[in-house]
Structure 1
Amino acid sequence: MMKAKTWVIAKLFDGEPTESNFRLIEEEVPSPKQGEFVCEALYLSVSPYESSSDKAPLGSALMGHQVSRVTDTKNSEYPVGTLIQCYSGWRSRSLINPKENPEALKLLKVPNLAGKEPSLALGVMGIPGVTAYRGLLEVCEPKAGDTVLVSGAAGAVGSVVGQIAKIKGCKVIGFGGSKEKCDWLKSLGFDHVFNYKEVNLDDALTSAAPNGVDCFFDSVGGEVSCRVLQHMNDLGRVCVSGAMSSYNYGDKQPLMPSPFHACLYKRLKIQGFSVSSCDARFEESRTQIFKWMNEDKVKYKEEVQEGFEKMPKAFLTALKGKVAGKIIVKV
């Protein structure tokens, strides 16, 4: 038997979590049987949507994606040394049987990244990047000359959305929550960037998009999103990939203006969107993103924190939206 460290839920979330909601335990990991392998975590993802763990039972492991290396195997398809991306949670070591519930594992081999860090498989080359790529192109269907608005624009998803929209010939407006985030978005080529905490949103959008907004990629929700809908053009397209503004409220959601009047009279298409690494188009999507990266058309930012013990702190940092780009914990 081998030992593994695992972060579990020590106290159920009630609104915004704190470090007291998490507990580090030690677990035994059995040796692999035929068809199984053991992997050790190298990089772990911390993402706001993982706060859905407030619905998980007390004592259960926190869930999330990781990049890990196979260290012991009885599966010829996964020899020792293979780098994989999987949904193993906040565990330092995992026993995996690829044939058992593959959808839940979301198991992929990390592609050849030409010398770049394999942590990219958790960010721009992972779920965030593919969400940006497919959500924008399949749901928003941008055309050259369209005005595209991105909320949460400095995040791992939003920053890629804006760059792809520029590649497609669109005018891009981004909302960020700090001067540092806004400066970074400007360096990525966003045409207009606003700190939503410091501006009147209606005035900002009237100035930046006098002819209205055609596409809205939203990962924030709440009052900001309701205001944006008032500036959408007829037949505008909205992709909803997250709801950052409501993750900490629990059952105490604040009252918001109704969005339905704008949806009806502007005939808006609004679609929720998420992807899985098991999706048939996942590889195709990240191949295109990698091509754009090599052409210097898509850039990325990683905030890497070292040490498995930093998982709760890194998660809370991500939940509060304090850092631009993707937050990664290196074991």
Structure 2
Amino acid sequence: MPMNRQWVLDHHPDGPATPATWRLEDAPMPEPGPGQILVRTRWLSLDPYMRGRIAPGANYAAGVAPGEVMQGGGVAEVVASNHPGWAVGEMVETMAMGWREHAVLDPDRPGTARANRIPPGIPPQASLGWAGMPGLTAFVGLTEIGRPLPGETVVISAASGAVGQVAIQIARLMGARVVAIAGSDDKLAHCRDLGAAEVINHRTADIGAALDAACPGGVDVFFDNTGGPIHDAVMARLATHARVIICGRIAVVDQPADRDIGLRASSRMIVTRARVQGLVVFDWWHLRDAALSRLAQWHRDGHITFREDVLEGFERVPEAFCRMMAGANFGKQLVRL
């Protein structure tokens, strides 16, 4: 009997996840029912939001219990179809893939579980990066929440990551001046290549002093992908009527939530009249198709480029997750099967 390998959660981690947080198991090969398709995984996406899915506490979406297949998006090839609209050999992107070699999908399910065709001219794995959820996150964060005006200063943390890379380029297309924060000189060189006017190495620089030098008029838009000390330093330097997009907290995600209190910024919010808004991209899924069409056009016009960090082999999925959480990746973290 053919078997289907899958990574299941072994236990909720106390602190940073390790490869032992998951275990590899064999399960019976699934069979598609009426209106369903069977797919074979080709690419898996590793993203910081997944850390919240393996925490025992409440989150904005249901988490993964020990013994359950790890959640995550991926790209797969249709190997059997009982759906009239899908043929064997087609490529599909979905947030409902999970860490498994094969899966049965319901192509007509709405929302984030939907099965999406890869648009012509786009590499399949790009639908997990600039042409997928990270690209949509950057697009929504800037065009719907941050809305930088020409000449305004936009600060982006984790700027060489999957979201940050796209955010730099969108901010520049909107006429803003970008200050990129990342954790190595190589990553910062990449941010400059993408159009950042100033760069800050958060591992070696005095962040506050560097921000004072890079943002003499204050920060108009802050795309916060990290939380932690970077968040505190930028919040203390907001310009009047600044907009803050709280997108990620990878710097503090392994700490208890009640310790992540950040800067006591209420007085600063009064002085600057800043607006602070949390961003969970799944709230904006109704904009997905329109946003990705715009991103694809920018890519065709040469305005969007993107770097990927690829590990080979299903056995390396937990390793890829852990290196992404530690900031060891350079670009969007993917695993190719």
Question: Which range, TM-score by smaller chain?
Answer: over 0.9
Corresponding residue to 2:198 among 192, 197, 200: 192
Q: Map residues 234-245 of structure 1 onto 2, 5 A cutoff.
A: 234-245=240-251
C-alpha offsets along residues 248-279 of structure 1, whole Å, 9 cap, x if unaligned? 22467366431222122211111111223982
Corresponding residue to 1:59 among 62, 67, 70: 67
Counterpart amino acid of 2:30? Answer: P
Matched, 1:210 2:211: no
Matched residues, number: 328
Q: Map residues 1-331 of structure 1 onto 2, 5 A cutoff.
A: 2-52=2-52, 53-55=54-56, 56-86=64-94, 87-99=96-108, 102-103=110-111, 105-112=113-120, 114=121, 116-250=122-256, 253=259, 256-276=262-282, 279-331=285-337
Whether the 8 Å contact between 1:66 and 1:88 is mirrored in structure 2 is yes
**Secondary structure of the equivalent of 2:268?**
helix
1:186/1:230 CA distance change after superposition, 3 Å: same
Gaps of 5+ in 1: none
Whether the 8 Å contact between 1:289 and 1:298 is mirrored in structure 2 is yes
In the alignment, the residues of structure 2 paired with residue 169 and residue 278 of structure 1 have an alpha-carbon distance, to the nearest angstrom, of 24
Whether the 8 Å contact between 1:220 and 1:245 is mirrored in structure 2 is yes
Counterpart amino acid of 2:78? Answer: V
In the alignment, the residues of structure 1 paired with residue 297 and residue 137 of structure 2 have an alpha-carbon distance, to the nearest angstrom, of 17
**Secondary structure of the equivalent of 1:91?**
coil
Counterpart amino acid of 2:73? Answer: H
1:252/1:15 CA distance change after superposition, 3 Å: farther
Whether the 8 Å contact between 2:106 and 2:115 is mirrored in structure 1 is no
Whether the 8 Å contact between 1:156 and 1:324 is mirrored in structure 2 is no
Gaps of 5+ in 2: 57-63
C-alpha offsets along residues 136-187 of structure 1, whole Å, 9 cap, x if unaligned? 1110011111111101111110111111111111111010011111111111
Shift of 1:285: 0.8
C-alpha offsets along residues 106-131 of structure 1, whole Å, 9 cap, x if unaligned? 4322211x2x4200000010000111
Aligned residues: percent identity?
29
Q: Which has the higher contact order (CA 8 A, sep 6+)?
A: 1
Counterpart amino acid of 2:155? Answer: L
**Secondary structure of the equivalent of 2:111?**
helix
1:254/1:239 CA distance change after superposition, 3 Å: closer
Counterpart amino acid of 2:263? Answer: P
* 170-179 or 81-90, which deviates more: 81-90
Shift of 1:234: 1.1
